[in-house]
Amino acid sequence: MTKINLSNMPVTLDDRIEQLFTRSYQYAQRLHRSDLIGDIEKLWQALTLERADSLSSYFKNAGLRRAYLGYYMPLYAAKIALLLQRLTKEGFLPGFAEKPMRVLDLGSGPLVGISAARLAFGPLKRAIAVDREIGTMRSGYEFLKPFMNEEEAKQIFLRRANLGVLKSFDFQEPFDLIILSHVLNEFGSSSRFLPKKLEVILAAINMLADGGRMLIMEPGNRVCSRDIMSLRDALFEEPSVSILAPCTGIDQCPLLKNATDWCHGELDWKRPAICVKIDEKIGFDKSMLKYSYLLLSKKAEQPEGVKNWRIVSGNMVHEGVVRRYACTPSELLTLSQREVTYKSVLTPLVRGELIAATDFEGRVQVVNEKSF
């Protein structure tokens, strides 16, 4: 396979994502004779409609395995990379873009987290992928290898293991970034699975370097998001962990009080052409990427200079008034603005965006309860 000239890699994240989608789709097409878009649709059904019966076996089917590599791998990698970009702009990842990273990708699949870290920060210093399926990791490595120079490729390691024994691992040196993406939902969603999730997370936290970060990402649906919210409240009580984002300091998540509420974010992005083609044929809508997440560090001081209100709802419009919920270090607030008074400053905000209390002073009314 032809080596890719790293000096010609796209400069912007949008262009790197476009390239990843194009190359992964073309690569996946060569792996099997069946219709790739048809296999992507079958995999979507397996991951959503039939999840309980198919999760443990879908990578054993050659068509579904390459469907993941050709669509879901670049989709999830893009989502993680775009979130890492947002967190960098928000000030939660100081210096991450200035040094080669040491990355641990837990529940890696076809090296999704490693691909995301490379999209966001460039070539890696060292990376370890951990998953119970070695073949899936190998397929991701074989795809990624042409993107790397020889030295970087030698520093990518694959480890077949169950995350339940993570605390027994010895990786010799700590990591700058640990990624746990779309994994915790496989443990189960009831409260009885919470201790096992905490065990994995606390074991991983101990593997962070000073100043390192752990990113947990899950789907942005109600069940997964509320699981993350419950996990967040449990982690708040752990003395060895700091919760950096999305939460802004409050001790208990206010959205957990109402079973119909859940906290998730949205990422606006430039959809790659091949992604648009697939989405239109199958009927997907990936114009916005939804997700729920936690950014953690070892117990340490909070980053300085970051804003501390976060938008946690979509636009709610009634009789000319726009309202948004904002989570703050002390409570959940309602922000409201009558559109005819000023040009709306609330409407353009993206769910999950970080803002400051002073951003809209004099233009937005703030109340300390859900007032409608």
Mean pLDDT, rounded, of the chain: 87
Q: What is the pLDDT of residue 7?
A: 40
Crossing angle for the helix pair 134-144 and 112-121, to the nearest 10 degrees = 30
DSSP code per residue over 141-187 = HHHHGGGS-HHHHHTEEEEE--GGGGGG---SS-EEEEEEES-GGGG
Q: What is the pLDDT of residue 256?
A: 86
Element (DSSP H or E) covering residue 114: helix 112-121
Count of C-beta atoms within a 10 Å radius of residue 264: 22
Tell me the C-alpha distance between 34 and 114, whole Å: 28
Residue 341: pLDDT above 60?
no
Q: How confident is the model at residue 52 (pLDDT cuts 50, 70, 90)?
A: very low
Local structure of residue 313 (DSSP, 8 states): S
More confident residue, 183 or 57: 183
Residue 47: pLDDT above 80?
no
Question: Which tokens in the block code for residue 109?
Answer: 């699949």
Nearest to 69 by CA among 32, 121, 105, 25: 25
Residue 290: pLDDT above 70?
yes
- Per-residue pLDDT tens for 91-143? 999 889 888 999 999 999 999 999 999 999 999 999 999 999 898 899 999 99
